[in-house]
Structure 1
Amino acid sequence: MKKVLIAGSALLLGLAACRSKTKTEQTVAGPPVGTFAYDQVFLQNHHKDVVVLRDGDAQALVLPAYQGRVMTSTADGKTSYGWINYDLIRSGKLLPHMNAFGGEDRFWMGPEGGQYAIFFKKGDAFTGDNWQTPAPIDSEPFTLVTSNERSARFSRNFQLTNYAGTAFNVGLEREVRLLSRPELAQLLEIPSADGLKMVGVQSNNTLINRGQEAWTPDKGLLSVWILGMFNASPRTTVIVPFRKGSGAVINDSYFGKVPVDRLVLKDTVAYFKADAKLRSKIGVSPDGAKNWLGSYDPATQTLTLVTYTFDPANRQYVNSMWEQQKNPYGGDVVNSYNDGPMKPGQPQMGQFYELETSSPAAALAPGNRLIHTHTTMHIQGSEAQLAPIAQRLLGASLPAIQQVFSQ
């Protein structure tokens, strides 16, 4: 069976309601489009419960209505990093199959496809017409428990039934934190953050078995899946460091093989073009994954970094391929998606790319928990300041990142 999308970008359904930031979004009066201030005003005009996290210029916008999603953030008080689907939000409507509201840290769950899928009903063919994102992780709100200027905590309980007919009583606890500059400096392994504009948002996502029976591999397991949607630009490059494994650790077969002018493997680093011009995706298996990935936009001199909880000894990750799978626990740990038209001449979801991480499969006894922590950082600075950070954490020099697709 042909391999189909497993990314959080999912199907490009309802494309007429989806587009990126354009000049048509600009109001007659108010902050200019593309700025954090514009996005804050826009979201507050459509949702009264927007949580604003703030530490000086570093800020983030979080929406309980969209599962405690981090919609966007800023390091300098001006630049807005998260891709937002203005038209869909403005419409006030819900689309079939999936609602791509955007956001740079959104909570999802796996597996998407396969014999233990939670996006397909038992017995249905694995086709787009049958594919449906579960409402609790798509269109229903999370409960805001507490919030202040630095953090917000959410909770939600719901039921899911997978393709095999297994029922899950799920509990979720989600905390979103705005990291302080000392915390960011420690994570980035730099002695000082002087001269850098930085913002870091960390989500701690706890999956709980609220039922009376254990979750076991033979009946299907769940996972935490965090996806970030960021504004693409013509020269944005995703950098994914990897370990050399016993086989191919980079999977680029989701929509057909990624062209060689868009994916370059150099020793232990994968470079992936993130210009929103071609629908494509890569993933890294547990054999090759490291706990850092990122992107660089030379136009704005912004280095984006993602780190997450990862135990290389744990090799069980849910498989989301749309097929009856030979190995339902042979899925990817990290992924990156670049948006583009489904077919030439067709519209696309938007001008964005994604950085994604997943937890291991959650084999939980009643009352037990799995925690997956996902941290997104944006650093603006000179090339001299950013180069050692990129080299140390991503294993790639800044000149190599900028030149890899210019040859």
Structure 2
Amino acid sequence: MQRLQESPKKEEYPKGTFGYDRQFLMQQYKNTIVLENSIEKSSILVSPELQGRVMTSSLNGNEGMSFGWINHDLIASGELSEQFNAFGGEERFWLGPEGGQFSLYFPENVSFDFKNWKVPTLIDSEPFEVVANNKSTAVFNKKAAITNYSGTTFNLDITRTISLISKDDIKNNLGLIDVDFSAVAFKSKNKIVNQGNNAWTEDSGVPSIWILCMLNPAPAVTVVAPIKEGGKEELGAKVNDNYFGKVDQDRLKATDKTVFFKADGKSRGKIGFSPKRATKFIGSYDANNKVLTILEIDEPRVKDKYVNSAWEIQENPFSGDVINSYNDGPLENGEQLGPFYELESSSPALFLKSKESYTHTQTIYHFSGTDKQINALALKILGVSVNEIEAAL
């Protein structure tokens, strides 16, 4: 059963705080769920109306900074677009691939242009059912069918489990026993069952689980991706930056072990990392607010295939990336969806037989602390110092 939530006692919180977003979302979506640890002051807001989407989080209760990017104006308008509704949200459930002959975002026989791109309502504006809910965990379910560019229909049973993580578990998960900090963290387990009678194969195309995190951009925010070291002949390119045209050199830097990407919401671009290059982490550092954000997945396996989301008919539709980051910016017509930036992860391509399932797990952490504490965390998790991050771009 879903718990009834009480609004915060304080009537007004400034925009940018968790309390502001909590009050706003509970007014707009009556079923909004709050998961919180009152002792540690870690809190997250989850919306059943928006696919069990984690809308935002805080490491200091209602007074704390709200980490998720939320499109307040669009939500308050009550208007819905048939193409895509950029509601925002710190972590949302999507499906891949985005482009190509097995795309789930382009109807058959159209060009791969933005005007033809359409997000399926299943992962845009439809609600998920709440099947369980307590103070630290919420479970959602959705049964649906979706058809790709090549005409294959997938019958899906989707279960999404969101869990708030305690500070002790954060320390144990990341091996941070000797480091102190303030933090909020949550894990999402995203399970898909092939409910159809046929196996999903390379010939028909297959879906993947795609989890995207919309966060607040700023000139002092830098995305940091540790990569596996090695030559191009052995491991391929260090970073794929050709999703929407090459990223300008002043916005992207790659060393032998780390890639840095500017996340200011002012120039549209995307980067990605293949299973040969990706590690289990990608993160970002907000130098103004002294906040370190980490996305963690299971260690990628080189033998796994990933769907290719490039907006074209592809020679190799299973040569996609594991981890991505997107920086929003103006479109060709000058309009802009955000601004926001994203950290993203994908499951391998789901070659599932009838009634088989796969679960993709992702964990998001936000850390705050002294300069010394944040530096220790950056070195431990991302392999670079705060000074290196700030000086990179």
Query: Which of 195, 198, 218 in structure 2 is aligned with 1:233?
Result: 218
Structure 1 residue 116 displacement after superposition = 0.9
Query: Which of 332, 339, 357 in structure 2 is aligned with 1:351?
Result: 339
The answer (yes or no) to whether the contact 1:181–1:193 under 8 Å persists in 2 is no
* Partner Cα distance (2:98, 2:328) in 1: 19
1:103 matched residue in structure 2 = 89
* Partner Cα distance (1:37, 1:276) in 2: 24
1:43 aligned counterpart, secondary structure: helix
% identical equivalent positions: 45
Structure 1 residue 311 displacement after superposition = 3.1
1:297 matched residue in structure 2 = 286
1:330 matched residue in structure 2 = 319
The answer (yes or no) to whether the contact 1:104–1:228 under 8 Å persists in 2 is yes
The answer (yes or no) to whether the contact 1:161–1:167 under 8 Å persists in 2 is yes
The answer (yes or no) to whether the contact 1:249–1:287 under 8 Å persists in 2 is no
After TM superposition, the structure 1 = structure 2 runs for residues 377-388 of structure 1, keeping only pairs within 5 Å, are 377-388=365-376
Range moving further from structure 2, 184-193 or 103-112: 184-193
Indicate whether 1:366 and 2:368 are aligned. no
1:52 matched residue in structure 2 = 34
Q: Which runs of no fewer than 5 residues in structure 2 stay unpaired?
A: 1-10
* TM-score between both structures, scaled by the size of structure 1: 0.90
After TM superposition, the structure 1 = structure 2 runs for residues 178-327 of structure 1, keeping only pairs within 5 Å, are 178-192=164-178, 194=180, 196-243=181-228, 244=230, 245-327=234-316
The answer (yes or no) to whether the contact 2:238–2:254 under 8 Å persists in 1 is no
Indicate whether 1:118 and 2:111 are aligned. no
1:81 matched residue in structure 2 = 67
Structure 1 residue 310 displacement after superposition = 3.5
2:158 matched residue in structure 1 = 172
* TM-score between both structures, scaled by the size of structure 2: 0.93
Structure 1 residue 246 displacement after superposition = 2.9
Indicate whether 1:94 and 2:77 are aligned. no
Q: Which runs of no fewer than 5 residues in structure 1 stay unpaired?
A: 1-28
* Partner Cα distance (1:273, 1:206) in 2: 32
* Partner Cα distance (1:125, 1:343) in 2: 17
Structure 1 residue 191 displacement after superposition = 0.9
Deviations 1:316-347 (A, max 9, x none): 10011111100000111111011111248x24
2:200 aligned counterpart, secondary structure: coil
* Partner Cα distance (1:70, 1:216) in 2: 31
Match of 1:30, as an amino acid?
E
Structure 1 residue 152 displacement after superposition = 0.2
Match of 1:68, as an amino acid?
G
Match of 2:84, as an amino acid?
M
* Partner Cα distance (2:141, 2:76) in 1: 26
The answer (yes or no) to whether the contact 1:109–1:225 under 8 Å persists in 2 is yes
Structure 1 residue 193 displacement after superposition = 5.8
Query: Which of 21, 25, 29 in structure 2 is aligned with 1:39?
Result: 21
Structure 1 residue 192 displacement after superposition = 4.9
* RMSD value, Cα: 1.3
Deviations 1:122-151 (A, max 9, x none): 222222232211111111010011111101
* Partner Cα distance (2:114, 2:366) in 1: 35
Aligned residues: 375
Deviations 1:354-386 (A, max 9, x none): 000000000001111111001100000011111
Range moving further from structure 2, 376-385 or 121-130: 121-130
* Partner Cα distance (2:259, 2:212) in 1: 19
1:175 aligned counterpart, secondary structure: strand
Match of 1:316, as an amino acid?
K
* Partner Cα distance (2:199, 2:115) in 1: 32
Name the structure, 1 or 2, with higher relative contact order (CA <8 Å, separation 6+).
Answer: 1
